[in-house]
Amino acid sequence: MAEKEISQAVISRLPRYFRYLGDLKDRGVERISSQELSELMQVTASQIRQDFNNFGEFGQQGYGYNVDYLYTEIGKLLGLDQKHHLVLIGAGNLGQAIANYVNFERRGFYISGIFDIDRELIGKKVRDIPVYPMEELESFCKERDIDIGVLSIPKTAAEAVADRLVKCGVKAIWNFAHVDLNVPEDVLVENVHLSDSLMKLSYNINRYEALKKQ
Ligand code: NAI
């Protein structure tokens, strides 16, 4: 596969390709043309061809793409052929919802432990995953190969906990707290804000309504 810098815009589209190809694979589809994929995904065939061209020879002209191969290669690009071990900080509403979602494991993301300061929650389990006291975070991470920390705690506590996770050696933080974290360059942060998505939706509703009136 070609080793070249791939734009973040292309990378942000890969999970969606991966999902569609996974569905096609489950349905036993072996080959798909960029045109067929385009109709299915509602993106232009040229966008698909351009995106896939970034990764070398994914398909043959006129013969379509091999679904299984494409699925595997995109999975590799997304690092989904490796296992990731996560600690989740904050066992409240959001933390429990994340821990209860089983599909992350199918993609290789395993929540090894949940941490909280609330004595009522410590010792309980969320879908078989124990909730530990924050005092045990460092020793827990040391014993296991934890590479991702998930923050589902109030923003006021996020920075201090992120610092602790960095010292624990995590490579990345999946941040749900509404604050921009200051971490060293070699620690990656992916911010997830559901409300941003809602605001985008709200904008698009207004835009669509305005267009209809024209
Ligand atoms: P919650 O109050 O139900 O849960 C927060 C949990 O964090 C509690 O169990 C609390 O004991 C724990 N906690 C507080 N300080 C801590 C610390 N220093 N170390 C470890 N645990 C600590 O709140 P909820 O609804 O689960 O939301 C959690 C956070 O996620 C909030 O900051 C909220 O604003 C944010 N949020 C973000 C969303 C997003 O899309 N990014 C969506 C929903 C919530």
For the stretch 71-104, pLDDT in tens is 998 999 898 889 999 999 999 999 999 999 988 9
**Ligand 1 atom 44: residue of nearest CA:** 94
Q: Compute, in angstroms, the gap from residue 199 CA to the centroid of ligand 1.
A: 21
**Which among 120, 136, 151, 153 is the best mutation to test ligand 1's pocket, defined by most ligand atoms within 8 Å of the CB?**
153
| Beta carbons of 140 and 132 less than 8 angstroms apart | yes
pLDDT value of residue 100: 96
Strand order of the β-sheet with 64-66 is: 31-32, 64-66, 59-60
Q: So what's the pLDDT on residue 3? A: 54
Residue 63 banded pLDDT, cuts 50, 70, 90 = confident
Closest approach atom of ligand 1 to CA 118? 11
* Closest ligand 1 atom to 157 CA: 18
d(CA 190, CA 138): 22
Q: What is the DSSP string of 109-157?
A: EEEEEEEES-TTTTT-EETTEEEEEGGGHHHHHHHTT--EEEE-S-HHH
Ligand 1: lining residues by beta carbon, under 6 Å: 89-95, 115-118, 121, 134, 152-155, 157, 161, 176-178, 192-194
Residue of minimum CA distance from atom 39 in ligand 1: 193
* Spatial strand order in the sheet of 125-126: 125-126, 129-133, 109-116, 84-89, 148-151, 172-175, 188-191
In the 8-state DSSP scheme, what is residue 185? T
Cβ distance 115 to 133 under 8 Å? yes
pTM score > 0.95 for this model? no
> How far apart are the CA of 88 and the centre of ligand 1, in A?
11
Cα 31 to middle of ligand 1, angstroms: 44
- Pick the closest to residue 10 from 70, 77, 64, 65 (CA basis): 77
- Stretch 124-147: mean pLDDT, rounded? 96
